[in-house]
Structure 1
Amino acid sequence: MANSVKEKKKKHTGAKTMGIVFGIILAIIIAATAVIFILTKPVDDKSDKAVYVGGLLSSQSIEYKDASSKGLESNPIIKIMQIVWKGVDKDDKKNHAEQTPPSKITKVKDIEYLNTGNPYHMLDVFYPEGDLPEEGLPVIIDIHGGGWMYATKDLNEYYCMELASKGYTVFSISYRLVPDVTVNEQIQDCASALKWISENMKNYPANASSVMLTGDSAGGQLALYEAVLNQSPELREIFNTQATNLNIKALLLTSPVAYMKNGGMYSVYTKPLWGKDYKQKATYNYMDLSEIIEYADNMPPTFFITSSGDTLAHDQTVTAYNLFQERGIESELIDYGEYNGEKQKHVFSVLDPFSEPSQEVITKALDFYQKALLK
């Protein structure tokens, strides 16, 4: 009888303990959900607290959200990454504040390439001050990175100014961000920007016969896709985009993340960026570079940059380079090692273009471009 009473007490105590544990877990979940909700609540785009992270801008006059991304904003990975990218934004702004960009650069800011009023549908132009050749300068078009969810053209402004200081007219474009849209709409935005540039570069000191397209990280993927779609009416129909009419002479790809479906552990993040229903979309079979490269019979010479400290895209960059080599596409790769005992991080030459390692690889990339122009 005594043992029976003890057993009942143990069961009661155990049930009570389990109740407390579940209560604590529930409280943690509720608190975490509340924190995530607060940190990912959209802010008016005119506010000084506005951050250019997908899904975090609101407006009474601009419709940021596209129907293609329906349901994507509630994806827990997307919610977490919104918070991550907000943190990256703070670091990038601090990094910029510590840099000194080149002087004597003409800047033409915030040109609309689509008449939507959307701040993501804008581009900038940079070129050196002073007397310029009548035929214009060779052109570089830059597509910024940011994991498809973060940033605008302003993130790469110092990089573009540095390129311009070396004798180029540089166009830098923004595009809408996930989860307001999917990657497919970003490809469409970039194509619209490139078409605008092809039709309007005559208004700037730009030589239309000399164009290099460049991008870093997610921007590298977008640049690659634009170069391939530029040659394929069939793919443009699948992606519902347009011809850019650009004569792309070279590509500069810095740590391109070009394998979004079969990209290893990162695919858990990258696949949903094509939409909650990405498996049902026409683009499903074209989410990796290896699935679209056969549509391009005349890829321009391509220069790849990665580094030993590139934990995000080193392997993808090398894989893309090897694919180009296998297909006989003229290409070079810089896999930068250590400098003064330190590994260079992801897209180091873009985020800190003034360091010695960055200057070294930028010089080599521009030499590659100049050689491509002679062919």
Structure 2
Amino acid sequence: MLVAGLFAKYVRYDTKRHDDVRIARQTPPAGAEVREYDYLPDGDPMHKLNFYRPEGREGVLPLIVNVHGGAWVYGDKDLNKYYCMYLASKGYCVMGMSYRLAPDTDIGGQISDVFAALNFVAENAAELGCDTDGIMLTGDSAGGHLASLAACIILSPRLAEAYGVHVPDVSVACVAMSHPVCEIHSVFRRRDCEPARFCRLPQHVFDNVLFGRRPRRHPLYGLSAFTEYTDGLSLPPVMLIGCERDVYTRHTQYLAALLSSMEKEGRCEKFVLDFVKAADESRKLRHVYNIVHYEWPESVRVNDASLAFFDESRRKNK
């Protein structure tokens, strides 16, 4: 676990260093307001959420739930703040939560936090002015994994029991994942998108981060990868966002092939892929570009497309 702790500290230091420089150069999106809430009354700074609305807009609005990325070890509710503000400025309620980070907690603890935040919003929906009937769950990188897992838990009493969470009175209209890493038992992948066997040692370190000293003995180990937690379920519409230069592009490609097959088999209501090839770029697009650089024209295009996907999915859900 010493190595797991050192890994987490390095990722937090290195990623925050670059994020701080980027955010200092950016201008927040106009047209959105944000309020902070404690979603659990325990005083833990990681049990807070941001709730966004269009500035000056009254009435009940559709709800988007965003789960931030950060390799499961980094970030908080403010990491995707500008992205969430952009979505809210387009006429939506948006909730983004902090959740406890690994290895200070395991994957079960992180999902427990995600659902505690969901329950808070569902219980206060009237006051917040959000519609919980037909939400969009969205997340980037590790957040894409947690968002898709949360969607499946909402659909599956078996998964809800295994993860020990109370599912609030919400329904999922769709899921939108940006550059997700969902096959967490095989984070490192070859060019053919299959697991890289020569990376067993770093994968073991990664497993220690999320599952502790004996990962395979963890009760949630076999229910934590996309191919495991989607087994036997029929998914709502799913949008997958990626780009060729993404360091985790093989995860996007693998997931795209899987979801395409699931759609053909009737196990996914609709699948949409937005994938930018390097030859088609106007600038070099990297991992989660549409989240960290919400202001780029390429990001505006795909983020607006995800909102259109949400609107279409909600209409069919009603």
What letter matches 1:103 in structure 2?
A: A
Q: Distance in 1 between matches of 2:50 and 2:119?
A: 15
1:10-29 equivalent positions in 2, closer than 5 A: none
Q: Distance in 2 between matches of 1:269 and 1:334?
A: 32
Residue 196 in structure 1 maps to residue 120 in structure 2: yes
Percentage identity across paired residues of the two chains: 30
Q: What 5-or-longer segments of structure 1 have no aligned partner?
A: 1-71
Structure 1 residue 346: deviation in Å? 0.3
Q: Is the 8 A contact 1:202 1:208 kept in 2?
A: no
Gap change, CA 1:274 and 1:210, over 3 Å in 2: same
Aligned to 1:45: none
Q: Distance in 1 between matches of 2:107 and 2:123?
A: 24
Match of 1:306 among 242, 245, 248: 242
Residue 315 in structure 1 maps to residue 250 in structure 2: yes
Structure 1 residue 93: deviation in Å? 1.2
Deviation digits for residues 107-155 of structure 1, max 9, x if unmatched? 102x1111110010110111112243x3x11111111000110010101
Deviation digits for residues 153-207 of structure 1, max 9, x if unmatched? 1010001000111111111111000111111210111111112111112212312
Runs of at least 4 residues off by over 6 Å: none
Residue 106 in structure 1 maps to residue 33 in structure 2: yes
Aligned to 1:336: 276
Aligned to 1:47: none
What letter matches 1:91 in structure 2?
A: H
Q: What 5-or-longer segments of structure 2 have no aligned partner?
A: 189-198
Considering only aligned residues, what root-mean-square deviation do their CA atoms show, in Å? Answer: 1.6
Structure 1 residue 267: deviation in Å? 3.0
Gap change, CA 1:282 and 1:203, over 3 Å in 2: same
Deviation digits for residues 64-88 of structure 1, max 9, x if unmatched? xxxxxxxx3x1x2430341232121
What letter matches 1:119 in structure 2?
A: P
Structure 1 residue 236: deviation in Å? 1.8
Q: Distance in 1 between matches of 2:232 and 2:126?
A: 30
Q: Distance in 2 between matches of 1:96 and 1:225?
A: 29
Deviation digits for residues 228-278 of structure 1, max 9, x if unmatched? 111111122222222133211011101111111133346344322222222
Q: Is the 8 A contact 2:132 2:169 kept in 1?
A: no
What letter matches 2:33 in structure 1?
A: T
Structure 1 residue 341: deviation in Å? 5.0
What letter matches 1:308 in structure 2?
A: E
Structure 1 residue 295: deviation in Å? 4.0
Q: Distance in 2 between matches of 1:278 and 1:173?
A: 26
1:42-53 equivalent positions in 2, closer than 5 A: none
Residue 163 in structure 1 maps to residue 87 in structure 2: yes
Q: Distance in 1 between matches of 2:147 and 2:57?
A: 31
Q: Distance in 2 between matches of 1:269 and 1:300?
A: 33
Q: Is the 8 A contact 1:231 1:295 kept in 2?
A: no
Q: Is the 8 A contact 1:228 1:295 kept in 2?
A: no
Aligned to 1:61: none
* TM-score, length basis structure 2: 0.89
Structure 1 residue 98: deviation in Å? 0.8
Q: How many residue pairs align between the two structures?
A: 297
Larger Rg: 1
- Greater RCO (CA < 8 Å, at least 6 residues apart): 2
* TM-score, length basis structure 1: 0.76
